[in-house]
Structure 1
Amino acid sequence: MLRWLFITFLAVAFAHRLDVDQGDRHCFFEDLQTQDRMTVTYEVGGSTHSGSLDIDFFVVGPGKVQVFKSLGEPQGTWSVTAPSPGRYTYCFSNEAGSGRKTVSFNVHGVMHIDDEEQMAPVEREIRNLASGLQMVKDEQSYLVVRERVHRDTCESTNSRVKWWAIVQIILLLGVCGWNVHYLKSWFEVKRVL
């Protein structure tokens, strides 16, 4: 009677991206058993309302009990080791925010196995490597979101600089035209009748 060890990774780590309109709420759920572990990491990567990269995040556990709540944060991580079996629902809400928000999030978990002593050393190392790989994937998705935010900021700044330069050129040409006309009027011969 070999029992599987302490951890079996849900090797399927989900990287999601969703748009949350103003006044909307998007919820997802996972069914966990006792001692299963679930982690949700999220980051707001864009918004139609400039400067407002915040989202409300909350988790409801079995029995509709609120387990976690984070209001107005642009990024966050929530992790739980399930004390009891049941459905854990996590939601992203833009009900109090303004504009449309783009949220990127990852969900991954670990299933609890009772007997750790029966695990082979190779299996233990594989699980440690899988854990390290998951951390690298999470960091990479975080960097992708940060790059998107910085690129959007640079493109917005570039657009503003371009339009300001065009306005300055138009003003400069207008002032030059007015100066030429004004100086020309000084050298015109005026006849007296």
Structure 2
Amino acid sequence: MFLSRCLLLIVGLSVIGKSCGIYYFLKEGQTKCYIVDEPDDTLVLVKYKNHDAGLNPIVGAVTPGTLPPVEMWVEELSQGVELYNGIAQREGSFQFNTIGECKVCFTIPSEAGWLGTQRSFKLESYIEIGEDAIDYDEMAKVEHMTAIEVEMRKLDETTRGIRKELQFQRAREAAFRNTSESTNSRVAWWSLFTTGLIVALSIAQVVILKSFFKKKKLV
């Protein structure tokens, strides 16, 4: 399984407007995943496309009619909550709001059987996060917004995104600080314990040797 060999990590970019495009080859029966680590309630838009229909393993020809469906799902990692689950034949998009660290996965069910040859498909994923994931043109049409109102909405979304990002980074910093302090405290106590143990063993060794010498009438 691809996830055990390669995990693409998209995490903690310093700018609120974020986007990332990747492409990869996915064989039938394989699963490929990546992680999105963003503040809670951050909008994430995932666009995907299958660039070809694979190669026929027998004649080596492109066979568009046999393109298997691409299964997709999004899962929150800490509690395993499923945020999205869907199937697409060739290309499309979906979106979700984060509730912590999330895993986005793609898989193509195998139709080759035990003795068949697994076909390989080139997939492309494009991720838009935060403000970049909002379609302001569509929003303007639906809400009948003027150009100035659209720009004001963009500014408001950017401000909200910056505020959430700062809170997210502060929370990460606090968690890291607590972990560091806990680790330092454990190291200090372990050092005291090992020092005390060495002193106790040294004293016991001296007492035992002294007792031994007395029995042998050497002292």
Q: State the TM-score, normalized to the length of structure 1.
A: 0.48
* Greater per-residue helix proportion: 2
Bigger RCO of structures 1 and 2 (CA < 8 A, at least 6 apart): 1
Q: State the TM-score, normalized to the length of structure 2.
A: 0.43
